[in-house]
Amino acid sequence: MAKEKKTVYFCQNCGYESGKWMGQCPGCRQWNTFVEEVVSIKQGAQSGSRVRGAAAPVSLREISLDENSRMKTGIGELDRVLGGGIVPGSLTLVGGDPGIGKSTLLLQVCKQLSDAGRSVLYVSGEESLQQIKMRAVRIGTFQDGLKLLCETNLETIRTCIEKEPPQAVVIDSIQTMYNEQVSSSPGSVSQVRESTGVLLQIAKGLQVPVFIVGHVTKDGSVAGPRVLEHMVDTVLYFEGDRHASYRILRAVKNRFGSTNEIGVFEMRQEGLMEVKNPSEFMLDGKPEGASGSVVACSLEGSRPIMIEIQALVCHSNFGIPRRTANGTDFNRVNLLMAVLEKRARMNLSSSDAYVNIAGGIKMTEPAVDLGILLAIASSQKDLVISEKTVVFGEVGLSGEVRSVSMADQRVQEAEKLGFETVILPKVCMKSLLSKNNKGIHLVPVENIKDAIRFIEKGQV
């Protein structure tokens, strides 16, 4: 079969293909993202093509759903992020920084599935069998249902899967796989795209769930074309400092569940351990009697999480004050500081401000606005907010404290963890009147002046 070689240019961001180099990509409008690749395509056959039978349209009423078809991984935090378990035929991409624990988590999933009597195939293109064995010894004892394969040729992997179809497949990693139909090197834009297409056919054709490990770039996004995230069903990101012990697993795309759920893990010698109550480790080590520290309640999916917001406001020695935000949106912090200056008459224009969410977690929910604002005011006025006080509420540009969703669940979580006072939006009191919250003191506030007055005098 004849081969045709040609030079093409691919956009590293979106996978746009062009016959010549361009400074700006017409697809995603990004600059200087085109890379040159020499592609060899076999004439008469397309990459990843398979002979299939004729497909016939099916009525929607004839399609039946089986809610019990999901496979439980045995890891509750991962099942929550996936939407209840692994869906047969799904293609899941797991991304994260090097050393964050991607391979460890998937190897633990293989252990749980093999312990449940399921057959699993773990394909590694980066590590040898001995390296995988060393990591497996730390995790525990594995059953015979787990098979290991060190291979990078996708056709060989495909033949192995079709010969003896497993019940789950792990590919570590997609950047090391190559397709013989494409002559470019492994990890290139065309190879990653074509290799993912082959794995997608395997997953959908054999109804085998496939997990793909993806490397990330310096800015934290999955390496390769952006079309890679569009092809898969679920995209999971591991967050957190690899030198710290806690990890956050977040779904940024999920066709089978919500993208608001997160999973919290702790890295130990024996692998990743689930953190059943994230609020406890988020508040672990909170200082007592220190200004600029406040506990806020954020909602991640269906689970309230207590977080500690720290703020440090000090006089600036330069003409332009410095503002830093860690764990939250930098522009949102600047907006809230402008609201404090305008509505609460606080002079912050000549002060440096540093805002940090302890625990290494990132929170973007508007309900933490009031917590950030009170932490800044507490540091500026050198006021101590009681460690038994929880704050939540969205703040508008007029200084009003607006309503947030699921206020009753936030109050119940605060009461369960032993907090005594909750500062919340006044408009949320309507949904709490029918609830039994006698064990906790509720402080409704209409605007930021009421909230600041409470921490100053202890009364609204």
User: Which pLDDT score, from 0 to 100, does residue 201 have?
Assistant: 93
User: Which pLDDT score, from 0 to 100, does residue 52 have?
Assistant: 45
Query: Is position 99 annotated in a ligand binding site?
Result: yes
User: Which pLDDT score, from 0 to 100, does residue 460 have?
Assistant: 38
Q: For helices 330-343 and 369-381, give the axis angle rounded to 10 degrees.
A: 60
Q: Would you list the domain boundaries of the chain?
A: 3-42, 70-276, 281-457
User: Which pLDDT score, from 0 to 100, does residue 361 have?
Assistant: 81
Query: Is position 97 annotated in a ligand binding site?
Result: yes
pTM score: 0.76
* Separation CA 260–CA 281 (nearest Å): 20
Q: What is the SS3 string spanning the chain? A: CCEEEEEEEEECCCCCEECCCCCECCCCCCECCEEEEEEEEECCCCCCCCCCCCCCCCCHHHCCCCHHHCECCCCHHHHHHHCCCECCCCEEEEEECCCCCHHHHHHHHHHHHHHCCCCEEEEECCCCHHHHHHHHHHHCCCCCCEEEEECCEHHHHHHHHHHCCCCEEEEECHHHCECCCCCCCCCCHHHHHHHHHHHHHHHHHHCCCEEEEECECCCCCECCCCHHHHHCCEEEEEECCCCCCEEEEEEEEECCCCCCCEEEEEEECCEEEECCCHHHHHCCCCCCCCCCEEEEEEEECCEEEEEEEEEEEEECCCCCCCEEEECCCHHHHHHHHHHHHHHCCCCCCCEEEEEEECCCCCCCCHHHHHHHHHHHHHHHHCCCCCCCEEECCEECCCCEEECCCCHHHHHHHHHHCCCCEEEEEHHHHHHHCCCCCCCCEEEEECEHHHHHHHHHHCCC
Displacement of CA 391 from its chain's centroid (Å): 25
Which token pair is 452? 């600041």
Contact between 204 and 89 (Cβ < 8 Å): yes
Query: Is position 100 annotated in a ligand binding site?
Result: yes
Nearest C-alpha neighbor of 143 from the set 109, 175, 170, 111: 111
Q: One-letter amino acid identity for 313?
A: V
CA dihedral over 203, 207, 213, 217, signed as positive or negative:
positive
User: Which pLDDT score, from 0 to 100, does residue 439 have?
Assistant: 77
Contact between 107 and 136 (Cβ < 8 Å): yes
* Separation CA 182–CA 164 (nearest Å): 26
* Separation CA 304–CA 394 (nearest Å): 16
Q: For helices 154-163 and 189-206, give the axis angle rounded to 10 degrees.
A: 10
User: Which pLDDT score, from 0 to 100, does residue 44 have?
Assistant: 42
Angle at alpha carbon of residue 278, lines to 275 and 282, rounded to 5°: 125
User: Which pLDDT score, from 0 to 100, does residue 34 have?
Assistant: 85
Query: Is position 98 annotated in a ligand binding site?
Result: yes
Contact between 319 and 355 (Cβ < 8 Å): no
Name 249's Cβ contacts closer than 8 Å, sequence gap at least 6. Answer: 77, 78, 81, 105, 236, 237, 238, 239, 262, 263, 264, 265
Strand partners of residue 36? 9
Query: Is position 102 annotated in a ligand binding site?
Result: yes
Contact between 421 and 441 (Cβ < 8 Å): yes
Task: Let me know if 457 is exposed, middle or buried by CB neighbors in 10 A (0-12, 13-18, 19+).
Answer: exposed
* Superfamily of the domain at 70-276: P-loop containing nucleotide triphosphate hydrolases (3.40.50.300)
Query: Is position 74 annotated in a ligand binding site?
Result: no
Q: Which residues of 151-177 are buried (b: 16+ CB within 10 A; e: fewer)?
A: eeebeebbebbeeeebbbbbbbbbbbb
User: Which pLDDT score, from 0 to 100, does residue 223 have?
Assistant: 64
Q: How far are the Cα atoms of 59, 298, 306, 332, 348 from residue 339, in angstroms, in the given order?
A: 56, 21, 24, 11, 11
Which token pair is 91? 């293609």
Running along the chain, 460 residues long, what does each successive block of 10 average in pLDDT? 69 80 87 79 46 68 76 92 92 89 93 94 93 91 92 93 94 90 79 90 93 79 73 90 77 89 87 86 82 92 88 89 93 95 92 90 90 96 92 96 92 89 92 70 94 78
Q: How far are the Cα atoms of 11, 34, 135, 303 from residue 23, in angstroms, in the given order?
A: 10, 8, 45, 45
Instruction: Write phi, then psi, for 23 (nearest 5 degrees).
Output: -70, -40
- Topology, domain 281-457: Ribosomal Protein S5; domain 2 (3.30.230)
Task: Let me know if 401 is exposed, middle or buried by CB neighbors in 10 A (0-12, 13-18, 19+).
Answer: buried
Q: Do domains 70-276 and 281-457 have the same CATH topology?
A: no
